[in-house]
Amino acid sequence: MTQPGLAVQSSASAANKWAFPIPANVFAQTVTEVQHYTDGLFRFRITRPASFRFRSGEFVMIGLPNAERPIFRAYSIASPSWDEEVEFYSIKVPNGPLTEHLQRIKVGDTVLMRKKPTGTLVNDALIPGKRLYMFSTGTGIAPFASLIRDPETYEKFEQVILTHSCRYIDELKYGEELVALCKSDPLVGEFAKDRLVHYSSITREPFPRTGRITDLMESGKLFEDLGVAPINPEEDRGMICGSMAMLNDTKGILEKFGLEEGSNARPATFVVERAFVD
- 100 SS3 class: helix
Instruction: Decide whether 81 or 163 has the Cβ nearer to ligand A2P.
Output: 163
Beta bridge partners of 118: 59
Closest separation in Å from C-beta 207 to ligand A2P: 11
Instruction: Decide whether 166 or 179 has the Cβ nearer to ligand A2P.
Output: 166
List 99, 137, 153, 159, residue binding ligand A2P (CB under 6 A):
137
**Nearest Cα to Cα of residue 2 among 70, 81, 95, 90:** 70
**Nearest Cα to Cα of residue 271 among 241, 229, 231, 227:** 241
H or E segment to which residue 162 belongs: strand 159-166
Binding mask 191-220 for ligand A2P (x = CB under 6 A): ------------xx-------xxx------
Query: Which range touches ligand A2P (CB under 6 A), out of 43-51, 55-63, 122-130, 240-248?
Result: 240-248
State the Cα–Cα distance between residues 118 and 152, nearest whole angstrom. 18
Determine if 243 is a binding residue for ligand A2P (CB under 6 A).
yes
Query: Which range touches ligand A2P (CB under 6 A), out of 16-24, 108-116, 161-169, 266-274?
Result: 161-169
154's CB contacts (< 8 A; 6+ apart) are: 160, 188, 191, 192, 195
| Residues near ligand A2P (CB under 6 A) | 137-138, 165-167, 203-204, 212-214, 242-243, 245-246, 249
